[in-house]
Amino acid sequence: MLYHATSISGSSVAVVVVLLRIGVDDTDSVSGMCTTYVAAVAERRLLALGCEKHELSRLIRLNPNCPFKTRGNAALSLHFKVSDTQVEKAVETVLQTVEEFYEKGFAETQPGVVVYRGEDVPDEWKMFALRTVREIVGLDEAVELAEKHGAEVYRFNGGRGVIGALAAIALPLENPTYEAIAYRVRSNWGTMRRVDPSSVLELHRSGLSFDSYDPETGEIRITPHTPCPVLAGVRATSPENALKGLSMVRFHEEVEYVTVFATNQATDMHYIPSRIPLLKPFQNVVVEGRVVGRPFLKKGGHVFFRVGDEDGEIVCAAYRQTRGLRRVVQQLVEGDVVKVMGAVKEKPEGLTLNIEKIEVLRLAEQVVTRPPLCQKCGRRMESLGLNKGFRCGRCGEKLPPEARVKTVVPRQLRAGVYEAAVSARRHLTKPLSLCR
């Protein structure tokens, strides 16, 4: 890309403008920091250098089942137009920002930075990025793939974050959502966040945002519960609504600054259709089948049931935290046809599908049987035992097992899609409110 600037002498000077894409991941630890903050600081510093933002910075959620994630498994990328004379300074600025802020002293904190100069992202990268959202990929593959297409790779403390950094640059975002994040001043890091709860309820009722408040629990969902620099984040389907929604929230502490990110949150991008014999740990899948047996309750209030297709069965779990979803699952009966969506994990019960959403496709008839009425005296007869028939306790009349009375019981459950409570919803899961 070229543009022309005019020198003092009046001659035209060609200036090369480079589209610089920089991915960053894995700068936080369980004790603090947030990669969105590191990216936001880097973004502000690039703007201060005179670099021009090409598009919104990205906040990309990777596979939520990743065993070595810190919290929400987010990777970030910055997309700037930079003159060729500024490229080295721009890259140096981002690297210095990562070095300054990443959580040191933690073996599991392994920042990675990927720098790519180019208009078109390689298709191989796009496919790789989709895989990072849906499965587990290796660091060696990420490094090799990045360098194959001319990207610069920078690794800190092992550099496992290169995986997410490359994915954040390359992930296709056809229908993004947006998040406006307010950051705290450093003196408040690690202290209780001071947010007016009533303003969050007003935000929820406004319809500008989604997943800001959980009506089932009364829980505020825009504030994290960790000692990180984030004060609050408001999610919406447009950057304008995200900012407008955040402006509705009343904070009782100072806001350092606000950044808006384009994201893959609430897109269901992590799901892959599958069949039961193909399921593996750490996948996020959609499986269709029939309910086998009846749901059963376990200690802690968690509900389990089995779903089978032509090739096998799997245990499905609706944990207590899913609230309304768990109550739906308790109403299932054998023979119901369902589509279950969620995470595959190894549990004491074996390979288990932790449900995030369930679609009830067809309801089976629920039939109950009762002893028949005595044909002589009209009294309800008593069972003589399994397959032994019935006897009247008054007159002694007997009837065979086939005389039992079958009654179809109306179902309260209806066909449709049901979801976990907001407080139990993972970042990538699309709320039903966005599916209408």
Over residues 262-301, the pLDDT tens digits come to: 999 999 999 999 999 999 999 999 999 999 999 999 988 9
Confidence at residue 47, expressed as pLDDT on a 0 to 100 scale: 98
- 66 lies in the same domain as 211: no
Confidence at residue 387, expressed as pLDDT on a 0 to 100 scale: 86
- 60 lies in the same domain as 120: yes
- Nearest CA to 415 among 338, 341, 353, 323? 338
- Rounded mean pLDDT, 194-213: 97
Identify any residues that bridge with 417 across adjacent strands, giving them in sequence order: 359
Q: What percent of the chain has pLDDT over 70?
A: 97
- Could you tell me the pLDDT band of residue 367, with boundaries at 50, 70 and 90? confident
- Rounded mean pLDDT, 31-44: 97
- 359 lies in the same domain as 386: no
- Rounded mean pLDDT, 208-226: 96
Confidence at residue 138, expressed as pLDDT on a 0 to 100 scale: 96
- Rounded mean pLDDT, 96-115: 97
Distance CA 54, CA 117 (A): 13
Q: What percent of the chain has pLDDT over 90?
A: 83
Last residue of a domain, one of 114, 145, 170: 170
Task: Give the domain CATH number at 257.
Answer: 3.90.600.20
- 425 lies in the same domain as 279: yes
- Rounded mean pLDDT, 295-320: 94
- 204 lies in the same domain as 276: no
3-state secondary structure the chain: CEEEEECCCCCEEEEEEEEEEEEEECCCECCECCHHHHHHHHHHHHHHCCCEECCCCEEEECCCCCCCCCCCCEEEEEEEEEECCCHHHHHHHHHHHHHHHCCCCCCCCCCEEEEEECCCCCHHHHHHHHHHHHCCCCHHHHHHHHHHCCCEEEECCCCCCHHHHHHHHHCCCCCCEEEEEEEECHHHCCCCCCECHHHHHHHHHHCCCCCCEECCCCEECCCCCCCCCEEEEEEECCHHHHHHHHHHCCECCCEEEEEEEEECCCCCCCCEECCHHHCCCCCEEEEEEEEEEEEEEECCCEEEEEEEECCEEEEEEECHHHCHHHHHHHCCCCCCEEEEEEEEEEECCEEEEEEEEEEEEECCCEEEEECCECCCCCCECEECCCCCCEECCCCCCEECHHHCEEEEECCCCCCEEEECCHHHCCCCCCCHHHCC
- 287 lies in the same domain as 403: no
Q: Which residue has the higher pLDDT, 247 or 409?
A: 247
- 328 lies in the same domain as 426: yes
Domain residue limits at 121: 2-170
- Could you tell me the pLDDT band of residue 7, with boundaries at 50, 70 and 90? very low
What's the pLDDT tens digit per position in 171-194? Answer: 999 999 999 999 999 999 999 999
- 290 lies in the same domain as 385: no
Last residue of a domain, one of 144, 170, 196: 170
3 pLDDT higher than 60:
no
Sign of the C-alpha dihedral computed for residues 347, 271, 59 and 245 taken in this order: negative
- 141 lies in the same domain as 53: yes
Confidence at residue 280, expressed as pLDDT on a 0 to 100 scale: 94
- 165 lies in the same domain as 54: yes
Q: Which residue has the higher pLDDT, 75 or 395?
A: 75
- Could you tell me the pLDDT band of residue 407, with boundaries at 50, 70 and 90? confident
Domains of the chain: total: 4
Last residue of a domain, one of 263, 298, 313: 263
- Could you tell me the pLDDT band of residue 348, with boundaries at 50, 70 and 90? confident
- 130 lies in the same domain as 13: yes
Confidence at residue 68, expressed as pLDDT on a 0 to 100 scale: 86
- 9 lies in the same domain as 119: yes
**Exposed / middle / buried, residue 169 (Cβ in 10 Å: 0-12, 13-18, 19+):** buried
Confidence at residue 10, expressed as pLDDT on a 0 to 100 scale: 52
Which of 19-28, 196-205, 269-278, 361-370 is predicted least confidently?
Answer: 361-370
Mean pLDDT of the chain: 94
